[in-house]
């Protein structure tokens, strides 16, 4: 039963891939832009993330967040320019591959979406943002953390999570304070995200006088880390940091423990999930990792309950952020009374909004003002928040809950 359901889904996916193009063009031909007054106005919102490959579970989580927001907006009966609106989520798969990311971005532009939530990986988001910029379509990423994304001077690019030049120092400082390392090893997966984050961590560690070993690299598909780890083992680091996603980080920490490397392992947000414990077993216990936002557990209760009721599972990582990103687009359209990107983009840039991930305002680059960073550890197979860092101050989860309840 289980198998046949999966087989069904997969063949459905093939069918959609084969016939998807034709269908979308038909939809685009429908009178979406200029309807008569009482007619329902269809507003398309694009979402892109990897729905296949090693981190498909994270892509699906992001998409679920956006889907929940769209469904809630439809239930709320929003009207734009006097006409009732039906929001439609156009969900695409970029396979975490920059080439496919660009193709999909162009597809969304051609389908005349009013806004885009995504992509998931920095490596796919940065090149795709240029395509949305050219088309003048606002995009908000709920998970791309590489600083370069908002340094391009694009007016239409936003993100609701923190940047790696905040995340890297946050996790590095935590490691410095708790482990007090003398020697550190830094590894990355040679992607824009992994390498960028590893650079930030290395900078912070070096500034604190830690001896950082020459950088080691894998790829975003590497599962055999033994050779790299063996080399590192000889230098006896106190701390090992890896910039990469959980599907490669799991084998990395597992093999490190098999080689009897006793260092404390640090990871970024891409490997800050429960999947780590699934892939590495007990070897994952005690790892330190960071997320570029508040922990999922600290998201608004309304969101958590709605997500669980709708998808029958707990949110994994960044779905509160894609949920907020989707609502930000809708909210800006509401305030501008139009789904036209040219009209609602200025409203979006100046928006003040309280969402599932807290209060959101954008700075002039499109980054979230005062973004939180959270430090986690692996405890009993679950990533457990240790501290939330906001404005240079470190709070425990309870203190944060008290503070946000007081607001």
Partner 1 sequence: MDILLQQLINGLTTGSVYAIVALGYTMVYGVIQLINFAHGEVVMIGAMVAFTVIMALLGANLPPAFIVICGVIAAIPVCMAIGYLLERLAYRPLRHAPRLAPLITAIGMSIILQHIALLIWGRDPLAFPQIIENTSFTLGGAAISTVQIIIILLAWVLMGGLTWFVYRTKFGVAMRATAEDVRIAALMGIDADRVIAATFVIGAALGAVAGVMVGAYYGIAHYTMGFTLGLKAFSAAVLGGIGNLAGAMLGGVLLGIVEALGTGYISEVSDLCRWPLIGQMLSERCSAEGHLVLFGSNYQDVFAFLVLILVLVFRPSGLLGERVAERA
By CB under 8 A, name the binding residues for partner 1.
3, 6-7, 10-11, 52-54, 56-57, 189-190, 214-219, 222-224, 226-228, 230-231, 233-234, 247, 250-251, 254-255, 258-260, 275, 278-282
CB of 150 to partner 1, least distance (A): 27
CB of 138 to partner 1, least distance (A): 30
State which residue, 57 or 379, has the beta carbon closest to partner 1: 57
CB of 211 to partner 1, least distance (A): 10
CB of 347 to partner 1, least distance (A): 39
State which residue, 52 or 106, has the beta carbon closest to partner 1: 52
Question: Which residues, in sequence order, are CB contacts of 50 under 8 Å at separation 6+?
Answer: 56, 58, 59, 93, 94, 95, 96, 97, 120, 121, 124
State which residue, 119 or 275, has the beta carbon closest to partner 1: 275
Burial 353-370 (b: 16+ CB within 10 A, else e): bebbbbebebeebbbbee
CB of 194 to partner 1, least distance (A): 11
Question: Which residues, in sequence order, are CB contacts of 347 under 8 Å at separation 6+?
Answer: 332, 335, 336
CB of 319 to partner 1, least distance (A): 17
CB of 175 to partner 1, least distance (A): 21
State which residue, 1 or 3, has the beta carbon closest to partner 1: 3
CB 254 within 8 A of CB 275: no
Q: Angle formed by the axes of helices 122-135 and 192-207, to 10°? A: 120
Residue 373's DSSP bridge partners are: 389
351 burial type by CB count under 10 A (0-12 exposed, 13-18 middle, 19+ buried): middle
Tell me the C-alpha distance between 251 and 247, whole Å.
Answer: 7
Structure-token pair, residue 134: 């050219």
State which residue, 325 or 378, has the beta carbon closest to partner 1: 378
State which residue, 88 or 274, has the beta carbon closest to partner 1: 274
State which residue, 3 or 405, has the beta carbon closest to partner 1: 3
CB of 236 to partner 1, least distance (A): 11
Tell me the C-alpha distance between 215 and 204, whole Å.
Answer: 15
Based on its alpha-carbon atoms, the radius of gyration of the chain, rounded to whole angstroms, reads 21
What is the enclosing helix (H) or strand (E) of 185?
strand 183-188
State which residue, 78 or 190, has the beta carbon closest to partner 1: 190
């Amino acid at each position: 039963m289980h198998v046949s359901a999966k087989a069904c889904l997969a063949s459905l996916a093939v069918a959609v891939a084969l016939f998807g193009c034709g269908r979308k063009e038909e939809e685009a031909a429908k009178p979406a832009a200029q309807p008569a007054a009482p007619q329902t106005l269809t507003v398309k919102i694009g979402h892109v993330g990897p729905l296949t490959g090693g981190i498909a579970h994270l892509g699906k989580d992001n998409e679920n967040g956006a889907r929940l927001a769209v469904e809630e907006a439809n239930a709320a009966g929003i009207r734009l320019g006097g006409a009732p609106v039906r929001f439609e989520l156009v969900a695409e798969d970029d396979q975490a591959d920059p080439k496919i990311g660009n193709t999909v971005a162009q597809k969304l532009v051609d389908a005349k979406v009013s806004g885009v939530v995504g992509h998931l990986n920095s490596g796919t988001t940065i090149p795709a943002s240029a395509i949305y910029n050219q088309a003048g379509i606002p995009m908000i990423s709920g998970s791309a953390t590489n600083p370069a994304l908002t340094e391009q001077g694009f007016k239409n690019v936003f993100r609701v999570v923190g940047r790696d030049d905040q995340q890297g120092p946050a996790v590095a400082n935590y490691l410095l304070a708790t482990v007090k390392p003398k020697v550190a090893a830094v590894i990355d997966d040679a992607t824009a995200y992994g390498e960028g984050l590893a650079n930030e961590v290395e900078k912070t560690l070096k500034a604190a006088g830690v001896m950082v070993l020459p950088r080691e690299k894998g790829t975003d598909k590497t599962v055999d880390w033994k050779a790299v780890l063996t080399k590192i083992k000889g230098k006896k680091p106190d701390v090992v940091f890896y910039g990469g996603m959980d599907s490669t980080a799991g084998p990395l920490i597992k093999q490190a423990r098999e080689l009897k490397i006793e260092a404390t392992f640090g990871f970024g947000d891409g490997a800050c999930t429960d999947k780590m414990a699934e892939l590495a077993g007990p070897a994952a216990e005690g790892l330190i990792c960071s997320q570029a936002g508040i922990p999922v557990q600290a998201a608004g209760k309304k969101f958590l309950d709605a997500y669980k009721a709708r998808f029958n599972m707990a949110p994994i990582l960044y779905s509160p952020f894609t949920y907020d990103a989707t609502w930000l687009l809708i909210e800006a359209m509401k305030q501008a009374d139009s789904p036209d990107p040219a009209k609602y983009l200025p409203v979006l840039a100046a928006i003040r909004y309280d969402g599932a991930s807290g209060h959101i305002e954008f700075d002039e680059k499109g980054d979230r003002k005062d973004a939180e960073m959270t430090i986690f550890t692996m405890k009993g197979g679950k990533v457990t928040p240790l501290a939330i860092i906001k404005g240079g101050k470190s709070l425990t989860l309870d203190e944060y809950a008290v503070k946000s309840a007081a607001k």
